[in-house]
Homo-oligomer: A and B are copies of this chain.
């Protein structure tokens, strides 16, 4: 194998604590650092590996450091410039499709999952070298190793439960192996993003006294948003920033900040992140631009930044992003440069565009859509939309997940994750870069390659992702999902006090994949007794302009009781007599007795009565918008009700 081939096996493994280690094939030049690691091993750890005490000198270590990458192969785990673990396999003499494996991690790093990661990382090169099975002996008392073998998802078989256990397992990636990887990945994402979304303390590096700079704005927003923890302004040129004493560097802060927001110019970012990582900071949100999106110089800068990041295990959002936000009252973190910090809610939002992020926060506030948390992912150098999906999957404050995407880092992984997450929490996405010119612009924007739109469509469909073509639609769907149950089917009952809007609604329902069925005879009869003879008691039910607020309440209940109706679309046009507020009041009351989702359309110049918002009944200005949103939600409901099964990727 030449060195290019070997580079393929280099990877950054994300650990259960959210941090990363760098795993790569061993090199002869590693001998000294291997010896250094040996020096940090406890006698107990050595005994577990070699079943007896032993010593090691540079010459002896050569046996382990020099491998042929054919019959003998080894990987090392690096962090902070140190080698902290090693895994290896040696092909068996008389049995060339099997190899003996071994794993060793230094004591100080035990319990983080480095051994598991090292073991799992052997699978790919083993397969490439024609090895299909691993064998090994483990001390019976080495419960850590036995647990590791199980955790790695390799389904080991054990025999001879004496003081030494013989273990064998297939070295090919089984479904369990993949699922185990996904689960580790998920736990890692959750851990990493916990430091991003709920840090105990934050340093704003580049916090400026000038509120018209990014650094000034972010600091100001964290303060004014009342972040529930200390926020340290870091600025070597200022004694204080907005009445808060400033620190010259992260190292000068009173405690090590769990998270840093980096707003300094691009050339200084790497050193800032390096300093913070060395101190033990868990996460960095890098707002600074000038990386992959900015030509060859920027790309080089991003590579250099990521070397520092990988070698120290710190996790990064960005660079080239607009920050992160957590509206949870216990956190209250507006770590963005947008002043908008609306009321908290249960909708999470990830945006690949910073500019759109600003617009999204503004629109969410305008539309009264409460957010749980928000992240602008920028260049996605480290943490990606996939990681956010997994974080929000287990975030008890989030019910609905919204994504603005321009590109996929790993579409197959996105599909696997989204399919799983979507079972419990609907995912709604706008994927741009559909058109030729859009794709052209997208590639130059965050430096990522845009995927073909047909493939994206298929990916979303399989994964149950609700794809909307516009941001407006995205917000509409989100509002329905955040406030109403998902309908059990696609049959809509339309209730109106004006014929025209009812017809528009029926048209729009059918062109959005919904049915507007005839009502059950019992429902027709009940409506007939309730309404005047001029009313149309078929579906759409036109109660005509004389309809009272009470009529609305009762007719809603009748329709909801009809077993052939899965959702209600209730339209009100202000006529002469009936007041919108009264209708809203009755609708809100009826809502509490109704199981099917209810959407409303208030075609009034005075907007939507406050009662409706209180009752969590989404309201639209025109019937078409309501039908479109309901169509999406019903389609999602159908997807979710199908058995999961295995999907060919």
Contact A353 B499 (CB under 8 A): yes
Verify if A433 is at the interface (C-beta below 8 Å from B).
Answer: yes
Residues of B within 8 A of A499 (CB): 293, 353, 355, 441-442, 444-446
Residue of B whose beta carbon sits closest to that of A363: B621
Query: Scoring A residues 514 to 543 as 1 if CB is less than 8 Å from chain B, else 0, what string do you get?
Result: 001100000000000000011010111010
Residue of B whose beta carbon sits closest to that of A437: B516
Contact A356 B573 (CB under 8 A): yes
Residues of B within 8 A of A471 (CB): 504, 622, 624
Which residue of B353, B356, B498, B511 is within 8 Å of A354 (Cβ)? B498
Contact B573 A436 (CB under 8 A): no
Verify if A213 is at the interface (C-beta below 8 Å from B).
Answer: yes
Query: Scoring A residues 8 to 39 as 1 if CB is less than 8 Å from chain B, else 0, what string do you get?
Result: 00000000000000000000000000000000
Residues of B within 8 A of A472 (CB): 621-622, 624-625
Residues of B within 8 A of A242 (CB): none
A363 to B605, CA, bound (A): 6
Verify if A432 is at the interface (C-beta below 8 Å from B).
Answer: yes
A319 to B469, CA, bound (A): 41
Contact B605 A362 (CB under 8 A): yes
Contact A404 B500 (CB under 8 A): yes
Q: How many copies does the complex hold?
A: 2
Which residue of B365, B504, B603 is within 8 Å of A430 (Cβ)? B504
Query: Scoring A residues 468 to 510 as 1 if CB is less than 8 Å from chain B, else 0, what string do you get?
Result: 0111100000000000000000000000111111111011111
Q: Which of A114-122, A387-395, A419-427, A574-582 contacts B (4 or more CB under 8 A)?
A: A574-582
Contact A353 B501 (CB under 8 A): yes
Residues of B within 8 A of A361 (CB): 605
Verify if A438 is at the interface (C-beta below 8 Å from B).
Answer: yes
CB distance from A502 to the nearest CB of B (A): 5
A interface residue count range (under 10 / 10 to 19 / 20 to 34 / 35 or more): 35 or more
CB distance from A533 to the nearest CB of B (A): 8
Residues of B within 8 A of A502 (CB): 441, 445
Most buried by B among A337, A511, A622: A622
Contact B501 A433 (CB under 8 A): no
Most buried by B among A340, A506, A603: A506
A436 to B351, CA, bound (A): 40
Residue of B whose beta carbon sits closest to that of A357: B500
Contact A573 B446 (CB under 8 A): no
CB distance from A454 to the nearest CB of B (A): 14
Verify if A214 is at the interface (C-beta below 8 Å from B).
Answer: yes
Verify if A613 is at the interface (C-beta below 8 Å from B).
Answer: no
Verify if A217 is at the interface (C-beta below 8 Å from B).
Answer: yes
Which residue of B354, B440, B510, B545 is within 8 Å of A538 (Cβ)? B440
CB distance from A489 to the nearest CB of B (A): 16
Question: With contacts A437-B516, A470-B624 known, is A603 near B359, CB below 8 A?
Answer: yes
Most buried by B among A365, A444, A538, A577: A444
CB distance from A647 to the nearest CB of B (A): 27
Most buried by B among A359, A496, A536: A359
Residues of B within 8 A of A444 (CB): 499, 536, 538, 542
Segment 348-370 of A: residues with Cβ below 8 Å from B: 351-356, 358-359, 361-363, 365-366
Verify if A434 is at the interface (C-beta below 8 Å from B).
Answer: yes
Which residue of B290, B363, B469, B538 is within 8 Å of A624 (Cβ)? B469
Residues of B within 8 A of A573 (CB): 355-356, 358-359
Contact B516 A435 (CB under 8 A): yes
Residues of B within 8 A of A437 (CB): 506, 509-510, 516-517, 539-540
Verify if A185 is at the interface (C-beta below 8 Å from B).
Answer: no
A-B contact pairs, 22 of them (CB 8 A): A212-B576, A294-B534, A351-B500, A354-B498, A355-B497, A355-B545, A355-B603, A356-B573, A358-B498, A359-B501, A359-B622, A361-B605, A363-B605, A432-B507, A435-B506, A435-B507, A437-B509, A438-B503, A441-B499, A442-B499, A445-B542, A446-B499
Apart from A355-B501, A356-B504, A362-B574: 7 A-B pairs, beta carbons within 8 A? A353-B498, A353-B499, A354-B500, A432-B507, A437-B510, A441-B538, A472-B624
Return the 4 tightest CB-CB contacts between A and B, nearest first.
Answer: A355-B498, A353-B500, A362-B605, A435-B510
